[in-house]
Chains A and B, each alone.
Chain A
Amino acid sequence: MIRVRMPQKKQELEVPGPRRVSDILADAGVRPTTVIVTHGKKLLTRDQRVEDGETIEIISVVSGG
């Protein structure tokens, strides 16, 4: 399984791997232009494939005010 962390929402979910970032975002109900997706110190593009057992983070970039 791929572990998907969403620190701002304090949520975590698991999806079966391998899976593309764009599909993971769709699973999580997240619009691609509103986040960056990281794997350790790397940024992931939407077409990249995440392998089973890996952990990624979806970080929201939207600020209000």
Chain B
Amino acid sequence: MKCKRCRRSEAAVDLPSHNSAFCPECFFVFFRRQVEEGIRKFRMLSPSDRVLVCVSGGKDSLVLWDILSELGFRTEGLHIDLGIDGYSARSREKSLAYAVSRGKELIVVDLRAEGVPIPAAAKRSSKEECAVCGTVKRYFFNRIAAERGFTAVATGHNLDDEAARLLGNLLHWDSDHLSRQHPLLPESADGLVRKVKPLWRVSEMETAAYGFLKGIDYVTEECPMSEDATSLVYKKALSHIEDEMPGTRRRFYQGFLHQNRDVPKNSVALDQGEETPPVKCISCGAPTYTEICSFCRLKEKVTKTRGRS
């Protein structure tokens, strides 16, 4: 199969969803344009931004860091060591190795040192493990960004992630989450830093292909705590449809964004009226709608349990 762009070289990546196939050089052009268009469409970032890139050590976040740097944005990485035996050490190592190889700054937060390693936190919570992990990570993304003067927090969520999340929200008719599902959540007056997902137009396969062809060494193993994640069920269903009808996933998510053109407000709570201003957590100062924020409540539970054992 020849590259459909230059028509000379052998294709390395075939993309039935775009009815196309590219050689490595032309694929880099395609990928870069997709990300640029994703940023431009919602005016996610500007050259004056200081961007905190959340880096797990996996393909999406390292590719995100790579392409944002290539596009000329001022970036630093933030890695959260989740405290999961073995897996976290390997993820941290990949993140550090990438940062060193590119001469980039990487901030590391160690959840064991913070008193909330994810395995212990998940045991103390009634929520799904990935939901607990998400709460803790979002807390530190915002806290580190606010403390250190970053103007935007970027995460590596891709088209597959967002389409799976959309399917889940629709299946449960979760109107609160649907109203806030967007690649851009602007900064809020109550202390939330702007959140952006610049990879929302590229698929998981495209991100992996880009990472491989760019020689980015990422963690390929899955988080051992995400084996039962519901997002995997939605992804499986969508990949079945995608194989039969290429391009459906892209049309599904982009159609949703087209129908809901207004960028939602950024908020720490989903179910609060807009008239209700948040307060500062009495323990850590983070914006919250309760006296103590959800992170500090979780941390307290973990600490108390440790005290008893």
| Interface residue A13 (Cβ < 8 Å from any Cβ of B) | no
The verdict on A64 contacting chain B, using a C-beta distance below 8 Å, is yes
Q: Is the CB of B207 within 8 A of A34?
A: no
Is there contact, CB below 8 Å, between A63 and B60? yes
Q: Which A7-53 residues have C-beta < 8 A from chain B?
A: 7-8, 31-36, 38, 42-48
Q: Indicate if A59 sits at the interface (CB-CB under 8 A).
A: yes
* Interface size range on B against A: 35 or more
Stretch with Cβ within 8 A of A (4 or more), from B36-44, B99-107, B217-225, B262-270: B217-225
A43 to B10, CA, bound (A): 11
Instruction: Decide: B231 and A65 in contact? CB cutoff 8 A.
Output: yes
The answer for the CA separation of A8 and B243 in the assembled complex, in Å, is: 22
Neighbour of A43 across the interface among B12, B17, B160, B207, CB < 8 A: B12
User: Which residues of A sit under 8 angstroms from B130, Cβ to Cβ?
Assistant: 64-65
Asked if B145 is at the interface of the complex by the 8 Å CB criterion, the answer is no
Please report the total number of A residues contacting B with Cβ < 8 Å.
23
B222 touches A48 (CB 8 A): no
Task: Tell me if A46 and B222 are in contact (CB < 8 A).
Answer: no
Give the residue of A42, A45, A62 whose beta carbon is less than 8 angstroms from that of B14: A45
Assess whether A33 is in contact with B239, with CB atoms less than 8 Å apart.
yes
Q: Give Cα distance in the complex from A59 to B58, angstroms.
A: 13
Whole-angstrom distance between the Cβ of A11 and the nearest chain B Cβ: 14
Q: How far is the CA of A64 from the CA of B231 in the complex (A)?
A: 6
Judging by beta carbons under 8 Å apart, are A62 and B235 in contact?
yes
**Hey, which chain A residues are within 8 Å of B240, CB to CB?**
31
B227 interfacial by beta-carbon distance below 8 Å: yes
B residues sitting closer than 8 Å to A (CB atoms) are 1, 11-14, 17, 21, 24, 58-60, 130, 133-134, 160-161, 203-205, 207-209, 212-213, 220-223, 226-227, 229, 231-232, 235, 239-240, 242-243
Extra A-B contacts (8), CB below 8 Å, given A62-B235, A64-B232: A7-B220, A32-B243, A44-B12, A45-B13, A59-B220, A61-B207, A63-B59, A64-B231
User: Can you identify 24 A-B contacts, CB atoms within 8 angstroms?
Assistant: A31-B240, A34-B204, A34-B205, A43-B24, A43-B209, A43-B212, A44-B12, A45-B13, A45-B14, A45-B21, A46-B14, A59-B220, A60-B222, A61-B204, A62-B235, A62-B239, A63-B226, A64-B130, A64-B223, A64-B227, A64-B229, A65-B130, A65-B133, A65-B229
